[in-house]
Amino acid sequence: MKLPLFPKIIFAALLAFTVNSFVYFSFGNIYSSKILNYSDFTQQFHSGIYQYRILSGYFLIWIYGFLSDLNIDYQIFKLKFFGQNSEPEMYLSFFILNTFFLVLSSVLMVFITESKNFVAANSERILMIAVSVFIIAFSQFVVVPYDVPGYFFLLLFFFFLIKYIGKNSVSNLIILAAIMLVSTLNRESSALSLSLAATLLYSKFGLKRETFLPVAVLAVSFAAAYFGMRWMSENFSTNDGNLSTQNFSEPKNILGLLFWMVFFVFTLILAKGRKAVNHILIFHLFSASYILMCFYTGIIYEIRLYVPLFLTSIFLGRIQLTKIE
């Protein structure tokens, strides 16, 4: 059954809210229990690589301050914490922030799948959105403030990139540069948007000015935010240490690697034709620096690290550039 746009938006938003609510209120969080209070959160996220992911951190602290000023009986939520120092206000702040941006992300997924250049049956569009929402929610056994907002900015960039490739307007390029700048203030994984742009622009225009110019503009926007934050803090650290040995030896991290492999193959299976498969492969190639850093300084068991690659790939696999007008 083909649904009008508005009911799809409502369904996607309700799906995101419902799934995320069950994840936060129906399961006890063991993995992130140590940061579910204001003191430990600020200590971790104001040091090392985390100190540069400022945007969503400010959002979270603002929500926490707002909830702290309210006279709420948190017993009504029947929250069960594994850490004695955990605060209901902090946990609910994470829930509100991440649920809000997951709802916005699900709405953007609708707009991307409804674009003229997205090739899929109506049921396939809904299922791809649902799978994406469930994957994002499932990955939140690691509770952080910047991942889900990061997915929103990635999808927002994807949406306007399609528009830019269709018309090559200066206004759309300015919007893309602004999204890149803001999303880099949220997390440096915004570089994946640059990889996405390079993939589609190269596929559409080849090694021409139409490819190099916008990629250069976007790269400058990324660099301005990335190095600007480090210059202001007088600290140019890019990672918090080498974890590559653990990522290839510890059972949990090997399980995380299996997740990467399974869902990478999943996007290839769903891709529409050989050219779409090539788009996914080229995108991963252009994202090599991000992938290498995940294995070098990240914890592969934290499957959230692959989610932005997955989200981009699952929708990239149904894009047909010939239909962009």
- 143-178 pLDDT per residue, tens: 999 999 999 999 999 999 999 998 889 999 999 999
**pLDDT confidence band for 235 (50 / 70 / 90):** low
Give the residue, 29 or 189, on which the prediction is more confident: 189
Check whether 105 has a pLDDT greater than 50.
yes
Domain of 173 in residue numbering reads as 5-323
Q: Which of 187, 294, 289, 189 is nearest to 243 (CA)?
A: 294
Q: Which of 109, 134, 135, 143 is nearest to 41 (CA)?
A: 143
Rounded mean pLDDT, 51-77: 90
Check whether 315 has a pLDDT greater than 80.
yes
The whole-number pLDDT of residue 214 equals: 97
pTM: 0.94
User: Assign residue 187 a region: left if phi > 0, alpha if psi is -120 to 50, beta otherwise?
Assistant: beta
**pLDDT confidence band for 255 (50 / 70 / 90):** very high
Check whether 22 has a pLDDT greater than 90.
yes
Tally of structural domains, the chain: 1
d(CA 312, CA 162): 13
d(CA 153, CA 194): 12
Check whether 325 has a pLDDT greater than 60.
no
d(CA 43, CA 7): 43
